[in-house]
């Protein structure tokens, strides 16, 4: 291997880009540090200077995914302030999962290093974004509980689509299903309190 192919200005970023490309071409099963190194044009030993193991690389890949997801959510509704905006963001979340399924699965399914500052920052940013929306739209709600409920609901829908439980072929039907599901929860009447 020539020296020109070995040197990178930012090898960790080059390896993460290579890993994302491989992931989106072939899925996570065959993704390895060696494969990322080959794709980046460096020796198979080079990644170990920056990533302890495959899980560390996957954590960096997951962080890329979380940042891309955050960008898509903000693009869907830059300043969300209504329940309709929340539903729009939910649709964008599900569409992201369907557009980048391998990346989405790595973000949420594969083991990632929980001590990775980049990954923790990325997941925290998504959580804080959703929590800020909840705080603005539902100022009297238990914001942590409602944030968790909304994320779990939309995330569950995303995986139901990914697993083929719902048909993702008709975009209008997908949008209607996600919106109506979000509204079914946020407009749910409170159960009467037990008398007695």
**Cα–Cα distance for residue pair 150/31, rounded to 1 Å:** 32
In this prediction, residue 192 carries a pLDDT of 62
- Nearest Cα to 65, choosing from 120, 104, 35, 29? 104
Q: Does residue 118 lie within any of the structural domains?
A: yes
- Nearest Cα to 86, choosing from 142, 149, 169? 149
Q: Does residue 99 lie within any of the structural domains?
A: yes
The verdict on 45 and 81 lying in the same domain is no
CA atoms within 13 A of residue 57's CA, in its CB half-sphere: 28
The verdict on 118 and 27 lying in the same domain is no
The verdict on 44 and 72 lying in the same domain is no
The verdict on 93 and 21 lying in the same domain is no
The verdict on 91 and 131 lying in the same domain is yes
In this prediction, residue 54 carries a pLDDT of 87
Q: Token pair of 48, please?
A: 């170990």
Domain that holds residue 61: 53-186
The verdict on 5 and 15 lying in the same domain is yes
In this prediction, residue 123 carries a pLDDT of 83
The verdict on 75 and 92 lying in the same domain is yes
Q: What is the 3-state secondary structure of the chain?
A: CCHHHHCCCCHHHHHHHHHHHHHHHHCCCCCCHHHHHHHHCCCCCHHHHCCCCHHHHHHHHHHHHHHHHHHHHHHHCCCCCCHHHHHHHHHHHHHHHHHCHHHHHHHHCCCCCCCCHHHHHHHHHHHHHHHHHHHHHCCCCCHHHHHHHHHHHHHHHHHHHHCCCCCCCCHHHHHHHHHHHHHHHHCCCCCCCCCC
**Cα–Cα distance for residue pair 53/33, rounded to 1 Å:** 7
What CATH number is attached to the domain comprising 2? 1.10.10
The verdict on 24 and 99 lying in the same domain is no
Q: Does residue 89 lie within any of the structural domains?
A: yes
In this prediction, residue 68 carries a pLDDT of 94
The verdict on 9 and 85 lying in the same domain is no
Q: Does residue 23 lie within any of the structural domains?
A: yes
Q: Does residue 191 lie within any of the structural domains?
A: no
Q: Does residue 195 lie within any of the structural domains?
A: no
The verdict on 86 and 128 lying in the same domain is yes
The verdict on 28 and 75 lying in the same domain is no
Number of compact structural domains in the chain:
2
Q: How many CB atoms lie within 10 A of CB 142?
A: 11
The verdict on 92 and 136 lying in the same domain is yes
| 8 Å CB contact between 103 and 24 | yes
Please identify every stretch of the chain with a pLDDT value under 50, giving residue numbers as ranges: 1-6, 196
What CATH number is attached to the domain comprising 146? 1.10.357.10
């Amino acid at each position: 291997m020539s020296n020109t192919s070995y040197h990178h200005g930012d090898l960790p970023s080059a390896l993460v880009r290579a890993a994302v490309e491989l992931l989106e071409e072939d899925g996570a099963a065959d993704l390895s540090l060696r494969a990322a190194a080959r794709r980046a044009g460096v020796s198979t030993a080079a990644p170990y200077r920056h990533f302890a193991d495959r899980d560390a690389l996957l954590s960096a890949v997951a962080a890329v995914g979380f940042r891309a997801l955050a960008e898509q959510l903000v693009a869907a509704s830059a300043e969300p302030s209504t329940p309709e905006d929340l539903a729009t963001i939910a649709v964008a979340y599900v569409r992201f999962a369907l557009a980048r399924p391998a990346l989405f699965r790595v973000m949420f399914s594969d083991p990632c290093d929980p001590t990775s500052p980049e990954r923790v920052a990325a997941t925290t940013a998504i959580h804080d974004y959703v929590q800020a929306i909840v705080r603005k739209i539902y100022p009297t709600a238990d914001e942590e509980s409602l944030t968790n409920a909304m994320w779990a609901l939309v995330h569950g829908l995303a995986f139901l689509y990914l697993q083929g439980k719902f048909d993702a072929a008709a975009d209008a039907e997908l949008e209607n299903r996600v919106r109506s599901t979000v509204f079914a929860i946020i407009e749910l009447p409170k159960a009467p309190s037990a008398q007695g």
